[in-house]
Structure 1
Amino acid sequence: MTTNERLQPLLEQYDWATERLESRLAGPTSNSGDGNDVEVPALTDAEYLWEPVAACWSVRKRTDGPGPGATKLIGAGEWGRDGAPESPWPPPLTTIAWRLDHLSETLSGRSNHLGGDRTFDRATYESCPDAAGAVARFREAAADWRRVLIGVDESDYDRTGLSSYPYGSDADETFLTIAWWENQEILHHGAEIALLRDLYVHRAQ
């Protein structure tokens, strides 16, 4: 399938951002930005759940309840992600687990509500308690979203509300705007995750 020239720059940015984040999470190497590969250890469970400051939002056992400042644990299953009816301001610092879970949930949900049967419901989404499972889920969700992106007909690029994902502004946005938004989500959360990985290595022992 030939990608339309309007989508191509967004798709190239998406591919770069997801590959960069996946390699930064799973290793064994990641591009340093200057063309050289550096060794990167795979994300561990301890690092995945590390809370560098008090009152972090994270992914938690449901039996432990939500963390400080959160009022609920999003999703179903034994683990959930800290949340609240309204996003607090200033926003809480979040763990790698929270950020990665948030990315995977939005990618999976938007894939389903744009190119699937539109049955995805956040209430039944299950968070991963471990790093390996979370990285694998992100990889799968990222692949699903890419498949949906290239499957959208060019005639629908400017259509408002093509995605029915109910946990964002999708009803008021065009397809290309949603594609751009998912890119910036991966770029900025990916950068945050990379910084948390660096801080974890240099944390006080």
Structure 2
Amino acid sequence: MDIPPRLAPLLEQYDWGCLRLINRMTGPEVDSGNGSPVPVSPLTTAEYLWEPVPGAWSVRRHAEGPGPRATWLVGGGDWGRDGYRDAEPYPPPFTTIAWRLSHLSEMLALRADHTAGSRSLTKDGYVTNGDADGAVAAFAQAVEAWRDALLSCDDAALDTVGYSSYPYGSDAGDMFIDIVWWVNQEVLHHGGEIALLRDLYRTQQP
């Protein structure tokens, strides 16, 4: 199927944003923005779980229970991501690389399923990773799943309200092209946050 002309620039933006984030986490280098390479070391589990401020939200073993001000550990398996079931705490908690990357991966995987899959995956069933290697691999897999979902839609789908039935966002009331744009900005802004946290972690080490 040909890529709808309106989707092509959004897909290009998505691919570039995901590639930059994956390279920023795995190395051996990342584009500085002007074409020159910057060396990057692979993300470690210690860095993935690093809490730079007290009370940060992260991913934790279910046996430990949720972190400060969290009321729910989101996800299946041994690990879950700090979250809430009722009112979101204010001010919002600071979140770790683990939290942000888990959030991105879950969102991409579930939206892909609710667009071009079984339309049955839930937050409770999504497996959250407690180590960096597993988390990066899960993100890369989710990136491809959402990309495949985008490639399966035609031009009419872009204007269809509720084309994605993802139950944790505004999908039911939005045209699909607006959801595609929203996912891109999630990747871009959380990717920038993860890159900044990597810089902060590096400068904190002896």
String of CA shifts for 1:125-169, please: whole Å, max 9, x gaps.
110010000000000000010011011121121110111111111
User: Aligned letter for 1:19?
Assistant: L
Question: Does the residue aligned with 1:73 lie in a helix, a strand or coil?
Answer: strand
- Aligned counterparts of 1:204 and 1:18: Cα–Cα separation in 2: 27
Number of the residue aligned with 1:145: 146
String of CA shifts for 1:62-111, please: whole Å, max 9, x gaps.
11110101011012221100001233232111000000000000000000
Q: Percent identity?
A: 55
Q: Which runs of 5+ in 2 are unaligned?
A: none
Number of the residue aligned with 2:184: 183
Q: In the alignment, is residue 55 of structure 1 matched against residue 72 of structure 2? A: no
Question: Does the residue aligned with 2:124 lie in a helix, a strand or coil?
Answer: helix
Number of the residue aligned with 1:40: 40
Number of the residue aligned with 2:75: 75
The count of aligned residue pairs is 205
RMSD of aligned Cα (Å): 1.0
Q: Which runs of 5+ in 1 are unaligned?
A: none
TM-score, with length taken from structure 1 = 0.97
Number of the residue aligned with 2:200: 199
- Aligned counterparts of 1:120 and 1:190: Cα–Cα separation in 2: 24
Q: In the alignment, is residue 174 of structure 1 matched against residue 192 of structure 2? A: no
- Aligned counterparts of 1:38 and 1:175: Cα–Cα separation in 2: 36
- Aligned counterparts of 2:106 and 2:88: Cα–Cα separation in 1: 17
Aligned residue runs from structure 1 range 103-118, under 5 A? 103-118=104-119
Question: Does the residue aligned with 1:18 lie in a helix, a strand or coil?
Answer: helix
Question: Does the residue aligned with 2:68 lie in a helix, a strand or coil?
Answer: coil
- Aligned counterparts of 2:205 and 2:41: Cα–Cα separation in 1: 19
- Aligned counterparts of 2:134 and 2:89: Cα–Cα separation in 1: 28
TM-score, with length taken from structure 2 = 0.97
Shift of residue 204, structure 1, vs aligned partner: 6.0
